[in-house]
Amino acid sequence: MSPTLQRGWQRARRRQWWITTALAVPLAFALSAVAWRIAGFNAFTVVLLMALLISVGLATWRARRLDRQWLIRRLDEHPVAQDSADLLFAAPQALNPLQQRQRAHVDAALQSRLPELRPHWPGRWVLASALMSVVVMALAFGWPRGQNAAPLFPGIAAPPATPAQPPQLRSTRLEITAPAYTGQAARVQNALDGKVAQDSRLRWSLRFTAQPQTAALQFHDGQRIALQRDGDQWSAQWTATRPALYRVVTEPTLRDTRLYRLDVVPDRPPVVRVIAPDRSLVLGAPGQRQWPLQFEATDDYGVVATAQLKVTLAQGSGENITFREQTFSLAGTGPATQRRFARTLDLAALGATEGNDVIAQLTVRDTHTPTAQSAQSSSVILRLPSAAEIQGTDMEGMVKKTLPAYFRSQRQIIIDAEALIKLRGKLPAEEFVKRADAIGVDQRILRLRYGQFLGEESEGGAKPPPTSDTLPTSDVPASTHDDHDHDGEPAQAQAGHDDHDHGAPTDGTAAVFGSATDVLSEYGHTHDHAEAATLLDPKTRATLKAALDQMWSSEGELRQGQPERALPYAYKALGFIKEVQQAERIYLARVGPELPPIDESRRMTGDRAELASRTLPLRALDAPDQAIVEVWQQLADPASAPDLDALTQWLRRNEARLPDPLSLAAAIEELRIAPDCTDCHQALRAQLWRALLRPLPQVPRRIAPDAMGQRYLDALEATP
């Protein structure tokens, strides 16, 4: 395409854009004028901006419709193109020699005489659009103003307000400047309601359709801020320290006296969380040299980058405990609203030794000004074991390694049996039966341990105690083991009985069969277990007896090398044991009430002297908030006139305990403005119901007897 044709095409597009703009812009001004008359200057600005954007978009769209196809059709309408304009936009290599020759001929003709491509100006339509726009604007701004007068142009001074033409808000502007420590940018809004940070600076800028004599901001708590006039603009400033309800009041009275709400968001103190260690009391390992600590501090606006870690070292025992404090400064990492502080304490540098306690606590501050808010983490304690505790731990480990069978539980027996079943095909038959028999021995020992709580000390005659290097095979369990096994099941209650001997006599004489003294010295413990058995209530004893029966069946199957058959009995025994753990363990004898002796001389005589009445006196309960109870009762009648001033005073005294005092204050103000409003009565009554204190629970009244019960009571009254 030649440059001459390209320029002609672009001129046609520009002509189309201007035609569309000339037709649309007057209509945009007309619509904006109507919006100004109906809704004010703010609406005029929005409508005008939107209309102009639509006009420009429509003009651009219509200009882009003059594309290549339009240009080909427009050139073919002129004889100079000879219906061959499409050859100008085809690729030369795709044309045959005849087409290339025709293309060169048409291109030369167009360069010498280019037809007019621009569309004609629609003068009549443009004039009609302009005239219609002028008429609409004249009607919008020149129509007589009634009670709902339209706002004025910014440059024209508003007339004085009169009772016949009261002022009305024409434009509103609220500038909110949050405190610097919040990091929030200053913002401007047209709405007079808002939620702002505490201590934010607020500046109101108001314009009226008619200039009032005075104007002010009236708050619900009685505070009044006068608006200062500067030309046709009224402004005021206030620091938001508390939530408030307010309205714009003028003289003469403003046409719209609605309430506006300002919610103030206070700055919350920071929150500190301990990340490591994961519990408040940590038992140190023998020879521990370091203790890593990690904390996380969060705040709604920001935490100071440095924090103080206080470390307290407690040394000594009993009444000879000394404390020594040290403070470390920690630097935080991460964003300001969520910082992490970490420190690894060197126990040797702190002077911590065996048996000492190391207590750590972190203190952080937020960026609140002028006074920063601080918060402390929970204390974490590292307890270093003493030498005696370390020796006791080593001894306990030795006992567990030497006598592992004494610490078996029913759950462990089930686990061992299931593991053995999985190895049935891999083990020789003799080895399999041997392992099953070993599990059966463990089951038997556990059964005897539980049987001691039922007074079942042993089975069969006396047998020699097991040696320290082999597992016990005696039916009598040893008395040196923990009070509880590892899964929480009760173990043998033998504590405190190791200071007297229950073994065989040591004087060299054999035990005499039938001798009570020899029986006690031979078998022992009967006095303790008999007493323990009496502490179990009958239901618990029955449950424990059922568990022993299931253990017996499980033991028999295991000793015969059949762990599959033993599992159902073992599971049932475990279930019974859990029931015993949750049951009441102590049986208390019932003690009857100590009643006065019965006077036999007055029996069956009908003498009712000195018998007091059993009727409970009914007393009206005083409401905690009697003032608002009376108002709440008055609001049930829409025609009543409740004492709103007394209610307002009560609200000021109890504002701190109410969850939403502004809603109650708004309901009071709405009823004050419209005393005849039925919905306002109900809304205030609902708010008062939420604010009422609930009375303390009292003794309930007796249930009224039915017909049969009443006849019975009447018969008792009629009995002489």
CA 28 to chain centre: 50
Query: Could you count the other beta carbons within 10 Å of the beta carbon of residue 381?
Result: 17
> Encoding tokens for residue 129?
């659009």
Query: 110-124, 236-250, 504-518: lowest mean pLDDT where?
Result: 504-518
pLDDT surpasses 80 at 375: yes
Top-ranked range on mean pLDDT: pick from 318-322, 350-354, 475-479: 350-354
Q: What is the mean pLDDT of residues 406-415?
A: 76
Top-ranked range on mean pLDDT: pick from 37-51, 287-301, 500-514, 573-587: 287-301
> Encoding tokens for residue 317?
């025992």
**Eight-state DSSP code of residue 160:** B
Confidence (pLDDT) at 617: 64
Q: What is the pLDDT of residues 618-643, one digit of tens each?
A: 666 566 667 778 888 888 887 778 88
3-state helix, strand, coil in the chain (%, to 5): 40, 20, 40
Confidence (pLDDT) at 391: 62
Sign of the dihedral through C-alpha 692, 694, 698, 701: positive
Q: Contact 105/88 with Cβ under 8 angstroms?
A: no
Q: Contact 161/190 with Cβ under 8 angstroms?
A: no
From the list 598, 452, 582, 476, the residue with the least C-alpha distance to 527 is 452
**Eight-state DSSP code of residue 303:** B
Residue 528 or 114, more confident: 114
Helices (H), 383-468: 387-402, 410-422, 429-451
From the list 341, 352, 340, 333, the residue with the least C-alpha distance to 290 is 352
Q: Contact 381/359 with Cβ under 8 angstroms?
A: yes
Q: What is the mean pLDDT of the chain?
A: 77
Residues forming a β-bridge with 234: 206, 229
pTM: 0.47
Please state the φ and ψ torsions of residue 33, each to the nearest 5 degrees: -65, -40
Banded pLDDT at 75 (limits 50, 70, 90) = confident
Residues forming a β-bridge with 202: 176, 238
Give the separation between CA 489 and CA 481, rounded to whole angstroms: 13
Confidence (pLDDT) at 158: 63
Q: Contact 197/182 with Cβ under 8 angstroms?
A: yes
> Encoding tokens for residue 582?
């949750």
Residue 325 or 581, more confident: 325
Q: What is the mean pLDDT of residues 461-478?
A: 36
Confidence (pLDDT) at 479: 34
Q: What is the pLDDT of residues 495-514, one digit of tens each?
A: 333 334 444 344 444 443 33
> Encoding tokens for residue 656?
């701190």
